[in-house]
Structure 1
Amino acid sequence: MVRNMDDFDFCLPSHAQGVLEGLQQFRTNPKLADVTLVAGGREFPCHRGILALCSHYFYAMFSGDFAESIAARVELKEVDAGALEMLLDFAYTGKVTINQGNVEGLMRTSSQLHFPAIQKVCSRYLRQQMDATNCLGICEFGESHGCPEVSSKAWSFLQENFEAVSLQEEFLQLSKERLAVYLSNDQLQVQEERSLVEAVLRWVRHDPGSRAQFLPELLELTHLVSLPDQYLQNLLATEPLVRDSDASKALVARSRTMNRPAPPQKLEEVLVVVGGRVLEDGEDEERGLEMPPPTRNFAFYNPKSRRWMALPDFPDYNKWGFSLVALNNDVYVTGGSRGSQNDTWSTTQAWCFCLRDGVWKPIASMLRARTNHTSAVLNGEIYVIGGTTVDAVEVERYDPYNESWCAISPALKYVSNFAAASCLGKLYLVGSCAVKYNALTLQCYNPVQ
């Protein structure tokens, strides 16, 4: 008998991966699979346990008192075989390649079969790939497949970029009902009020034979009364679609005689400044001493009018080293340090100034405390970069639609004195090397890969 020996704990790191790879190989041998899925005339041998782990649908099917729970063959009706094959490969490997050609089929099938991981990644892919050429289709797709985070972002994109969207082929393919819904949105932001009228005219011209009848109804949604009288007069005199429609002519003529409301406020680019203050000697937030009243610390500068305009003060004013970024016409402030001159600490706090409501409100805290970091907006999400205490450029991302933060891969190289910017769907980080301070390093992050 073996005596006087200590316990020895053994763990094979590759065991889990090896088991999955082995089960994937067993799928080619029907004798080693315990169920065969049938879809679109194709057969897919697989294992109940693997399916149940990855899909709520299959978990309910195989663990409940259904005939399928013991059946050797299960037919899946109205399920795309190609998308099913990709879902099964993901279940065994944890890998999937999503692209423009398969994302809709994958999203549809993963919703049918309740693969939450694939639903989430497809949703994220659609949100990251959104632009003026596809946001309308993505919006309808998100609504029809129960993806509110997708449709919400598409709506926000449309509200901010209506003029660019209205120039795309996708806009011309809209139904009358869908176009009316978009035009009725009072949150549409346009540089020129006439843009709504021009968009409607382009849509009608695309198929005048069947669409001219809808012109009066759609023109009523374009705020004609806010347009200059000269523009309305030109519509009556030179636009054939208006001249050929008695109802449209009457609508435009009536708008010319109505009392003019105040000119709508146009969107303009401005410079936003959020300032803090440094604690004076003897002030210590930790000891709870009374703070002196803050000065105005939030304003914007209009380069056209060359004027400064004060906004509601940033409430967390006794802080420095925070980062500022704008998204969807709202202002976000993240991180920063607080405390006394001799005892400071970074914070995870984040704030949003909602332009529509004109108030500051706290949002979800970051995962890591940060000071002297940088922020950038990419694909409708906020990236905060660096500013932690470790020797790495840590990065996390905020999704305003889910109101949550998640960590992403850190920068490949450590840099200091850095700046970040997004361009053409990618995030770029430029900064000096930690060792060679005269050398600049440019790094690129692609959220899709």
Structure 2
Amino acid sequence: MEEMENEPSFVESPVEPLRFKVSTMVFDALEEMYFAGRHTDVQIIVQDKSFRCHKIVLASVSEYFDAMFLSGMRECYDGVVRLQGIESSTFVDILDFVYSGKLNICTENAEDLLRASALFQIKLLHQKCEEFLIGHISIENCIGAWRLAKAHECKELAKKAWYVILENFTDVCKTEDFNFLDADEMYEIINDDDLQVTNEEIVCDSVFRWYRFDPENRMEHTSKLFEHLRLPLLSSEYLLNEVEPMELVVNNQKCRDIVREAISYQMLPSRRPDFNSPRVTFRRYANMEEVLVVIGGYNASNERVADVLAYSFARKTWFQLMSLPWKLGREFSACVFGNDIFVSGGSQKLDSLLQFRSDNNEWVRCPNMIQGRRRHAMVAVGESLFVLGGYDDNQTEESNRTLNDIGEYAITSRTWSKCGELNTPVRSTTAAVSKEKIFIFGGLLADEKETNIVQCFDTRLKTCTRVDNLPYACKLSRAVVCDKRVFIVCTDGNVLGLTEDGVCKPVARIRHFNRRRFGAIHHKGNILLMGGECGTSVFRDIFTFNPDTEKSCTIARKNVPSRANFAGLKLILHKKFLKYEIKFDSGKISNQTVHTS
């Protein structure tokens, strides 16, 4: 018994540590046999060098060699494999990795090793090469790294290289590699909304340099790339001096049309709200941003508000802008000219005209209207504002309070003049511009009856004519211009269209729509609607409606202010004014934080 107790006790080792010891022993032995040339059964010939290797070793780390040795090809029997498209020095590095676990990688051989590891399907080596290249991406080599990564399924390398391209585009576009991009790669870069450039001139300059590097072979490709250049966002001077005179533009009708579109956008500030083009899209890191501006009106508690709110379409967030100088009350009118907003009349100050200067986020008072009013329409044409019809509470006779007066405000000279009269006095009407003519749709007459008449005021001739009848009488409708097409959204959800010959007819219907004093504007070819009231209920929603397909798409239902009798307009603002992020509780502002985007 004592002898047995003195015998040493044996504890079996865990499997994994033992497996590790055995695998290390095998690995060391294979390395020694490779360098000694023992038991090798395949000869690999690369360029002018021969390498004696073990099939089992190559097949165990490479799916390429495993498939080759199982295929029944000649190499399986004669033991000689000739490899093409690889340097012998690269194959030496691969064998060092396979037999010794040595990674001989540097900036000079990393790309060759990556390509070889992808060819031979050596996953671990492929991973290590990708990690090395990720750590050595620079402005000079990011395009090459991006193209290499796409060709060899290196997702992380492609992701990092793409980020460097976008973040440093101003410098990347001047590198040698940029000149050798193909057209599809160029399209992919310039079309990315995350491209970090301070202005679109940088993008255009880079594309034009790329074109001039090989104009003979790139002319056709460049004309197609023109569709994706955001030309309307360029300055007028750049368009006229740099783009329009280009031989490429002069000789290509499609390019000329795209340039003409951009020049029209710059030269017709009164029509910018109606403009629809994928080329008017601001990038994520641009200084400017497109927003929906909501001005004044009444909230769900029937309280007048002086708030001016901006909804960022990109960030789906509300911001607070400079408030109105006073609460406008009911039935004022507003329109956009260029990148400013003008607000006229309203129940509080019938003859007032305010201007929101977007460059400074400030409100300024303009000269008062000659004829005060509310329930009127206001539009911008050329370099002027036109106020049409409406209701003047200060008239002593009720029969004279519904107006036929048309006032014109010359924006540059800041002067008012009476420029004409409507055929029929109306109020609670809506108006839209088509080819310098103002169309006025329906409204209320002096005798309180709704009307279906359509009037047209020619801003050149200063004459007004009755051109058609709506299918039915309506008031408080909203006219919207989308791609030069005029639509009238009625309070019952019916949508009417104005044909080129001035005829109004039903074209669509918004389902479950029954509200008045709502907002309606053009947005990316669709009609954007928000707010409004039905009885005592005030709506809190924003959605778009396509009059061709009759499909609606909700933009926001939560965190939306309740508003009626307000003005909703689309504007382009500098991001520095979008600092104060706000949220809503039951349609009211509940908190405010400083936004640091």
TM-score, normalized by length of structure 1? Answer: 0.52
- Cross-structure match for 2:34: 27
Q: Secondary structure at the match of 1:27?
A: helix
C-alpha distance in structure 2 between counterparts of 1:71 and 1:183, whole Å: 53
Distance 1:59 1:207, change over 3 A: closer
Shift of 1:55: 1.9
- Cross-structure match for 1:159: 166
Does residue 1:90 correspond to 2:97, yes or no?
A: yes
Q: Secondary structure at the match of 1:129?
A: coil
Distance 1:65 1:205, change over 3 A: closer
- Cross-structure match for 1:267: 285
Which structure 2 residues correspond to residues 267-416 of structure 1 after superposition, within 5 A? 267=285, 304-305=576-577, 307-309=579-581
When structure 1 is superposed on structure 2, of 127-136 and 242-251 the one drifting more is 242-251
Contact 2:194 2:284 in 1 (8 A): no
Distance 1:242 1:61, change over 3 A: closer
- Cross-structure match for 1:6: 8
Shift of 1:116: 0.6
- Cross-structure match for 1:58: 65
2:205 to 192, 198, 209: 198
C-alpha distance in structure 1 between counterparts of 2:97 and 2:8, whole Å: 41
C-alpha RMSD of the superposition: 3.9
Q: Which amino acid aligns with 2:93?
A: M
Distance 1:266 1:194, change over 3 A: farther
Contact 2:197 2:286 in 1 (8 A): no
- Cross-structure match for 2:225: 218
Contact 2:199 2:286 in 1 (8 A): no
Task: Give the greater-gyration-radius structure (CA).
Answer: 2
TM-superposition CA deviations, 1:205-249 (whole Å, max 9, x none): 334455456543333321112323333223257x65567646445
Contact 1:38 1:76 in 2 (8 A): yes
- Cross-structure match for 2:153: 146
Shift of 1:67: 5.8
TM-superposition CA deviations, 1:121-142 (whole Å, max 9, x none): 1122222222322222222222
Does residue 1:40 correspond to 2:47, yes or no?
A: yes
Distance 1:249 1:44, change over 3 A: same
Distance 1:65 1:6, change over 3 A: farther
TM-superposition CA deviations, 1:54-87 (whole Å, max 9, x none): 2233344446766655654333344443222211
When structure 1 is superposed on structure 2, of 60-69 and 24-33 the one drifting more is 60-69
TM-score, normalized by length of structure 2? Answer: 0.40
TM-superposition CA deviations, 1:136-183 (whole Å, max 9, x none): 222222222233333344334333433332122211222334323433
Does residue 1:114 correspond to 2:132, yes or no?
A: no
- Cross-structure match for 1:326: none
Q: Which amino acid aligns with 2:226?
A: L
Q: Which amino acid aligns with 1:309?
A: E
1:178 to 179, 185, 191: 185
Distance 1:187 1:65, change over 3 A: same
- Cross-structure match for 2:544: none
Contact 1:242 1:249 in 2 (8 A): no
Which structure 2 residues correspond to residues 217-236 of structure 1 after superposition, within 5 A? 217-235=224-242
Shift of 1:111: 1.5
Q: Which amino acid aligns with 1:140?
A: R
Q: Which has the higher helix share?
A: 1
Distance 1:61 1:310, change over 3 A: farther
Contact 1:123 1:147 in 2 (8 A): yes
- Cross-structure match for 2:497: none
Distance 1:73 1:166, change over 3 A: same
TM-superposition CA deviations, 1:326-370 (whole Å, max 9, x none): xxxxx9xxxxxxxxxxxxxxxxxxxxxxx9xxxxxxxxxxxxxxx
Which runs of 5 or more residues in structure 2 are unaligned?
266-270, 288-573, 585-595
Distance 1:200 1:265, change over 3 A: closer
C-alpha distance in structure 1 between counterparts of 2:208 and 2:198, whole Å: 18
Shift of 1:193: 2.1
Which runs of 5 or more residues in structure 1 are unaligned?
270-301, 313-330, 332-354, 356-449
Distance 1:150 1:236, change over 3 A: closer
C-alpha distance in structure 1 between counterparts of 2:59 and 2:9, whole Å: 36
- Cross-structure match for 1:375: none
Q: Which amino acid aligns with 2:47?
A: G
Q: Secondary structure at the match of 2:103?
A: coil
Q: Which amino acid aligns with 1:179?
A: M
Contact 2:42 2:79 in 1 (8 A): yes
Distance 1:29 1:263, change over 3 A: closer
Q: Which amino acid aligns with 2:54?
A: H
- Cross-structure match for 1:281: none
C-alpha distance in structure 1 between counterparts of 2:37 and 2:261, whole Å: 75
Contact 2:195 2:283 in 1 (8 A): no
C-alpha distance in structure 2 between counterparts of 1:169 and 1:185, whole Å: 21
1:256 to 238, 260, 263: 263
Contact 1:80 1:109 in 2 (8 A): no
Give identity over the alignment, percent: 26
TM-superposition CA deviations, 1:371-425 (whole Å, max 9, x none): xxxxxxxxxxxxxxxxxxxxxxxxxxxxxxxxxxxxxxxxxxxxxxxxxxxxxxx
Q: Which amino acid aligns with 2:181?
A: L
Distance 1:304 1:71, change over 3 A: same
Q: How many residues align?
A: 279
